[in-house]
Amino acid sequence: MSRISSMARFRNNDIDCRSEDGRTVPNTQIRSSSSTRLTESHQARRKNFLSRMAFEQTASYDESISGFMRRQFIGNGKRQLPLKYGTTTTQGEDSKLFAVQQDMPIKVLNGSPGYINILDGLNAWQLVSEIAYATNLPAAASFKHVSPAGAAVGHPLSDAEAQACMVKDLNLDKVKPSLAAAYARAREQYWVLETKYIRKIRKIMGADRMSSFGDFIALSEKCDELTAKVINREVSDGVIAPDYDEAALSILAKKKNGNYTVLKIDPKYLPSEDEVRTIFGLKLKQKRNNAIVNNELFQNIVSENKSLPKNAIDDLIVATIAVKYTQSNCVCFAYNGQVIGIGAGQQSRIHCTRLAGEKAVNW
């Protein structure tokens, strides 16, 4: 392989390059003393073409060897993580997450994630970390199938809100923002209404309480025991956070008979600007969506009323960042620092708006 690469680099020797199916490319053998029937420009084009093929062959070989070395010697979570299955259970064989030219920024503290868990976790982590940075508040998100079902910052809960979020007995801080309040807002709410006939009507409400069932959770800060207790009450697949208290990890590790996925991510990790993925054997490349959403984005107000209160700007930040990590088409409603309705992945913008609006009305 090194000889092929060297020959391709200088492009003045014989190059015998074969396609992936083993067939020799027509006119693949070119010598410096080639027949004068070919013009010099044509010879140069052919040499460049064959050199490219040679480099692609050696690059494919190098990728295979590096993959083998990664599996054999550094596949214990440092560069590669095995996944319990792919997008579907039929795609389970050889499903994995791996890092190239760097250590893995994620550690599995408990359980075994699947392919969709990783997609949810990585997108949800970006969402909450950006919201937390923009608002300077703890943030949490509930993700299902690569779109948020709910997201919120940790504004303190009133007594009524704590009861609605089913966390009144946990005595969350009523003055300071908290991570537990952020997830309680992001997940779901539960109302008990009493009629004049003393008949209780129970109704669960939230940004999308049905979709949040079996969600993947993202937390912008170190998970404390109180937040773990809130998570422990709900049916979910896993959680990703920058760190965990010992007590919090102990609680979470017992969920799902000990199979609950707990991921720890390096908060300092910065990926490459380029994103590459393979679809049907072809590679797509684009720049990461690194658009910055902060207060400055909402300073150019075109309406007559030029003043926006801070809470309204925070709501706009939460909604905009949530939309950033939602499958298109999407529309989002936010209030009091939390998503109250989101329409995701609809082909029609009208249906998308209706879906988000219905959820907001239910809330």
The domain ranges of the chain are 2-73, 80-104, 105-362
Q: Are 260 and 107 in contact (CB under 8 A)?
A: no
Query: What's the pTM value of the predicted model, to 2 decimals?
Result: 0.79
Angle, CA 332 vertex, CA 296 and CA 125 arms, to 5°:
70
Task: Provide φ and ψ at 339, rounded to 5°.
Answer: -70, 130
Rounded Cα–Cα distance for residues 232 and 35 (Å): 76
pLDDT classification of 359: cutoffs 50, 70, 90 = confident
105-362 topology per CATH: Cytidine Deaminase; domain 2 (3.40.140)
Of 116, 109, 110, nearest to 258 by C-alpha is 110
- Among 66-70, 113-117, 166-170, top mean pLDDT goes to 113-117
Rounded Cα–Cα distance for residues 6 and 3 (Å): 5
Which of residues 107 and 191 earns the better pLDDT score? 107
pLDDT classification of 189: cutoffs 50, 70, 90 = low
* Percent of residues, the chain, with pLDDT higher than 90: 51
Q: Which residues have a Cβ under 8 Å from the Cβ of 211 and sit 6 or more positions away?
A: 142, 144, 149
Tell whether the torsion through CA atoms of 291, 341, 155 and 305 is positive or negative.
positive
Q: What is the pLDDT of residue 193?
A: 46
Torsion of CA 177, 183, 186, 191, to 10 degrees: -90
Which of residues 123 and 363 earns the better pLDDT score? 123
Rounded Cα–Cα distance for residues 197 and 90 (Å): 53
Which residues, listed in sequence order, are joined to residue 215 by a DSSP beta bridge? 236
